[in-house]
Amino acid sequence: MPRRTPALIAAAVLLPLALTACSTPAGDDAPDAGRTDGRKTGANSDGFPYTVTNCGVTTTYQAPPERVVTMNQHVTEIMLELGLADSLVGTAYLDDRVLPKYAKDYASVPVLAKEYPSYEQLLAANPDFVYGGYATAFAAGDGRSREALEKSGIETRLNTEYCAEDDTPMDTLYQEVREVGRTFGVADRAEAWIERAEAQNAAIAKRLANVDPVPVFAYDSGDRTAFTAGGKGIGNELIERAGGTNVFADLDKTFGDASWENVVARKPEAVVIYDYGSTTVAQKKKRLLTDPALADVPAIRNKRFAVLPLSDAVLGVRVPAAVGRLAAQLHPAAETAATAP
Q: Identify which of 168, 297, 165 has the alpha carbon closest to the alpha carbon of residue 241.
A: 168
**Looking at the predicted structure, is the pLDDT value of residue 35 above 50?**
no
Q: At 313, is the secondary structure helix, strand, or coil?
A: helix
Per-residue pLDDT at 150 exceeds 80: yes
Distance CA 72, CA 190 (A): 20
- The DSSP annotation for 172-217 comes to HHHHHHHHHHHHTT-HHHHHHHHHHHHHHHHHHHHHTTTPPPEEEE
Helix (H, G, I), strand (E, B) or coil at 269: coil
**Alpha helices (runs of H) in 59-186, residue ranges in sequence order:** 73-81, 103-107, 119-124, 146-151, 169-183
Same fold for the pair 2-199 and 208-339: yes
The total number of residues written for the chain in this structure:
341
Q: Which tens digits make up the pLDDT trace of 287-338?
A: 999 999 999 999 999 999 999 999 999 999 999 999 999 999 999 998 655 4
Contact 96, 313 (CB under 8 A): no
Is there a contact between 223 and 283 (Cβ–Cβ < 8 Å)? no
CA distance 220 to 294: 16
Q: Write the Ramachandran bin of 330: left for phi over 0, alpha for psi from -120 to 50, otherwise beta.
A: alpha
pLDDT in tens, 36-50: 333 334 444 579 999
Residue 221 DSSP code: B
CATH 3.80.10.10 fits 2-199, yes or no: no
Q: Residue 4: what pLDDT? A: 53
CA distances, 112 to each of 57, 91, 159, 264 (Å): 25, 6, 20, 43
| Domain locations in the chain as residue ranges | 2-199, 208-339
* Sign of the alpha-carbon dihedral angle for 97, 11, 288, 299: negative
Q: Name the superfamily (CATH) of residues 208-339.
A: Nitrogenase molybdenum iron protein domain (3.40.50.1980)
Asked if omega into 117 is within 30° of 0 (cis), the reply is no
Geometric angle at alpha carbon 311, from 305 and 316, rounded to 5° = 125
CA 297 to chain CA mean position, Å: 29
Please give the pLDDT value at position 166: 66
Average pLDDT, stretch 189-200? 98
pTM: predicted TM-score of the whole model, two decimal places: 0.86
Whether the pLDDT of residue 176 is over 50: the answer is yes
Closest CA to 133 of 93, 169, 84, 96: 93
Q: If you ran DSSP here, which 8-state letter would residue 35 be given? A: P
